[in-house]
Amino acid sequence: MQQVHWWQGAAIYQIYPRSFLDLDGNGVGDLAGIESRLDYVASLGVDAIWISPFFLSPMADFGYDIADYCAVDPLFGTLADFDRLLAKAHALGLKVMIDQVLSHSSNEHAWFKESRESRDNPKADWYVWADARPDGSPPNNWLSIFGGGAWQWEPRRGQYYLHNFLVSQPDLNFHNPHVQQAALDNVKFWLDRGVDGLRLDAINFCFHDRLLRDNPAKPPEKRTGRGFSPDNPYAFQYHHYNNTQPENLPFLERLRALMDQYPDVGALGEISAEDLLGTMTDYTQPGRLHMGYSFELLTDDGSPGFIRRTVEELQAAMTRGWPCWSVSNHDVPRVVTRWGKGSTNPHLASQYSALACSLRGSICIYQGEELGLPEAEVPFEAIQDPYGKAFWPNFKGRDGCRTPMPWQPGNGAGFSEATPWLPVPDAHRALSVATQQADPDSTLQRFRGFLAWRHRQPALLAGDIRFLDAPDPVLAFERLHPEQRLLAVFNLSDREHTVELPGLENLRADPGHGLLAGRADERQVVLPPRGVYFAVT
């Protein structure tokens, strides 16, 4: 596929607003802080930013519980602040994507406050309500991702309401066409302001099974999944009925029709389903989402075999869609901790970033990934995440990847003049932006160099991918483009490895990526620990 749209092959930098930079001195990051660091973001060589929710919210789930979809929460600033951020980003050549959380709202949203009052008000059917069973128990066995049942009793109506996430995040009833239109109107509000794309949170959760059928049990050996605590009962079920319903597809087509009214905007759908490959394939068919956001590389397995199998399976299924990869985000432990498993090799983070950025598709890069930040240890008394509080100590929640960006090596890390909302660990301050800016061989500078080199490789931006047989722990593949053939080889271990590969005599090494490079002759590649080898026609 040739690169046609800005989002194809784009490097998208995810900004978690609470933790990026605080300029108003309340210990929480804000939109003005993001605007003030856009020059830094642009200097990384990324193509776009994705800003996690900054909308009006009681912050029970830190912005993913929205009380007004068209208002900026005062914690982060104002609509004028957002408009200035958007204008500066565009002036720097950066596209701007924002989160849209369509499947549920906050229980503080005016829609829900009206809906819960009675069974016959104008918003009565805007949320998922159901009568109790004859014994007073919930209408079915559906579970919340955050633990426990997915139904909450509401005495005003004498009914239960559905919440796939927190109790304070009631699910909207997308079977109601008025709800669909309201959601599209909110999306239009931001498209009219000039955003270039949407990251659609939990987009397969918009519809539920009308018959409210029980989910079937899952056998113990299959109770695994991204981000699940080992004692979270959510993993005990196949979630066939509380999400990923067929009615979602016509809604995605309505959403795409709206987006097609704007020049070259992109929709990135966050999809987490029992049949992930099948769902991503369905959701990214022509006329639906532009890209599917894959969770598969956010697991604990970073082995060459798993990465190859994951990418090949997605490629085989998703023949007409465009994937978007990520190895870190605001919901999972950071990749150098998760995949590195204790490795202290200074090239570890650079290699993981290069690997992710070399796969076919677009890439989301989580803030701090360019610095090689490890997962932070947050003591229980400082935990903010409700997920972590509920499942401590078996699962410590998501705060360890959400700690503030370390801009400076000092006590406040240059993040805030006040006490940060989460503590900044010493290990992060030692990896601060200021420290790494001064070191030409730092993880940060290698990241910049690699992205600059990537932009010059048509095969990495828009080429096909073909994996080559290589012994563990080596991962090797080709990217194939009409203008270029590119070979990429990664040694995912802390020991030197030699691997024989066909066709090396027809390629020339390209060391311009600036990473720890291997060497090759006509038949084999010698890779140093955490080394890489790139060669092109």
Please give the Cα distance from 72 to 253 (Å, whole number).
28
Please give the Cα distance from 176 to 128 (Å, whole number).
10
What are the helix and strand counts (H, E) for the chain?
Answer: 15, 21
Please identify which residue in the block is written with the tokens 């009308």.
210
Give 124-136 as a DSSP string: TTSB-EEPPPTTS
Please give the Cα distance from 102 to 200 (Å, whole number).
7
- Answer yes or no: are the C-beta atoms of 95 and 195 closer than 8 Å: no
Give domain limits for the chain: 11-102+176-452, 464-536
This prediction's pTM: 0.97
Q: 11-102+176-452: what CATH class? A: alpha beta
Q: How many Å separate Cα 16 from the centre of its chain?
A: 11
The domain defined by 464-536 carries CATH number 2.60.40.1180 = yes
Q: What does residue 80 show for φ and ψ, rounded to 5 degrees?
A: -65, -35
The model's pLDDT over 221-261, given as tens digits with 9 standing for 90+, comes to: 888 755 455 578 999 999 999 999 999 999 999 999 999 99
- Enzyme catalytic residues: 201, 270
- For residue 169, which amino acid is it? Q
Please tell me the predicted confidence (pLDDT) of residue 229. 56
Residue 274 neighbours by CB under 8 Å, 6+ apart: 238, 239, 240, 244
Could you tell me the strand order of the sheet in which 524-527 lies?
497-500, 524-527, 519-520
The model's pLDDT over 103-160, given as tens digits with 9 standing for 90+, comes to: 999 999 999 999 999 999 999 999 999 999 999 999 999 999 998 999 999 999 999 9
Structure tokens at 16: 């978690």
Q: Which residues of 439-470 are buried (b: 16+ CB within 10 A; e: fewer)?
A: eeebbbbbbbbbbebbeebbbbbbbebebbeb
Strands 95-100 and 197-200: parallel
Please give the Cα distance from 459 to 269 (Å, whole number).
24
pLDDT in tens, the chain (537 residues): 455 899 999 999 999 999 999 999 999 999 999 999 999 999 999 999 999 999 999 999 999 999 999 999 999 999 999 999 999 999 999 999 999 999 999 999 999 999 999 999 999 999 999 999 999 999 999 999 998 999 999 999 999 999 999 999 999 999 999 999 999 999 999 999 999 999 999 999 999 999 999 999 999 888 875 545 557 899 999 999 999 999 999 999 999 999 999 999 999 999 989 998 899 999 999 999 999 987 889 999 999 999 999 999 999 999 888 999 999 999 999 999 999 999 999 999 999 999 999 999 999 999 999 999 999 999 999 999 998 998 888 888 999 999 999 999 998 999 999 999 999 999 999 999 999 999 999 999 999 999 999 999 999 999 999 999 999 999 999 999 999 999 999 999 999 999 999 888 889 999 999 999 999 998 999 999 999 999 998
Strands 532-536 and 508-509: antiparallel
- Answer yes or no: are the C-beta atoms of 424 and 416 closer than 8 Å: no
Same fold, 11-102+176-452 and 464-536: no
- Answer yes or no: are the C-beta atoms of 27 and 420 closer than 8 Å: yes
Please give the Cα distance from 402 to 405 (Å, whole number).
9
Structure tokens at 52: 């996690």
Q: How many CB atoms lie within 10 A of CB 213?
A: 13
Which secondary structure element, helix H or strand E, spans residue 326, and what is its range?
strand 322-326
The model's pLDDT over 493-511, given as tens digits with 9 standing for 90+, comes to: 999 999 999 888 889 999 9
Please give the Cα distance from 221 to 230 (Å, whole number).
12
> Is residue 476 classed as helix, strand or coil in its secondary structure?
strand
Total residues found in the chain within this entry: 537
Please tell me the predicted confidence (pLDDT) of residue 433. 98
Q: How many CB atoms lie within 10 A of CB 300?
A: 13
Structure tokens at 444: 């940060």
Which secondary structure element, helix H or strand E, spans residue 444, and what is its range?
helix 443-454
- Closest CA relative to residue 174, chosen from 165, 184, 166: 184
- For residue 354, which amino acid is it? A
